[in-house]
Amino acid sequence: MTKWRRRAALPGPTILALAALDAAGYSVITPTLPAIAEAEDAGPALIGGLVATFPAGMLVGFALAGPGVRRGRTGEVLAASLVVIALGCLGFVWGDELGAYFVARTTMGLGSGGLWMGVTFATLERSPGREYVGMAQVLAAYSAGSLIGPALGAIGGVRGPFAAYLALVAAGFVAALLLRAPAERRTFRSDRTALRLPGFWLACAAELVAVIGLGLIEGVLPLHLSSALSQPEIAGLYVGLGLLVAVAALAAGRTSPRAAIVAGTALLVVGIVLSGPTGAVWLWIAALALAGFGFGLADTGSVGLLLESVETERIVTAMIVWSQVGIAGYLVGPVAGGAVAETLSFDWIGIVPLAAATALAAFALALRSMARRRKLVAEAAEHARSS
pLDDT at 381 over 90: no
- Of 186-190, 305-309, 312-316, the one with minimum mean pLDDT is 186-190
**DSSP code at position 31:** G
- Fold annotation for 12-386: Growth Hormone; Chain: A; (1.20.1250)
pLDDT at 258 over 60: yes
Q: Model confidence at 282, in pLDDT bands (50, 70, 90)?
A: confident
pTM: 0.75
pLDDT of residue 43: 81
Helix intervals (H) in the chain: 3-6, 13-27, 33-40, 44-70, 74-94, 98-125, 131-153, 159-177, 198-219, 221-225, 231-252, 257-275, 281-309, 316-343, 351-386
- What residue ranges do the domains of the chain occupy? 12-386
Give mean pLDDT, residues 287-316: 88
Query: How many whole angstroms separate alpha carbon 64 and alpha carbon 320?
Result: 10
pLDDT digits over 87-115, tens only? Answer: 999 999 998 788 889 999 999 999 999 99
Average pLDDT of the chain, as a whole number: 84
pLDDT of residue 377: 65
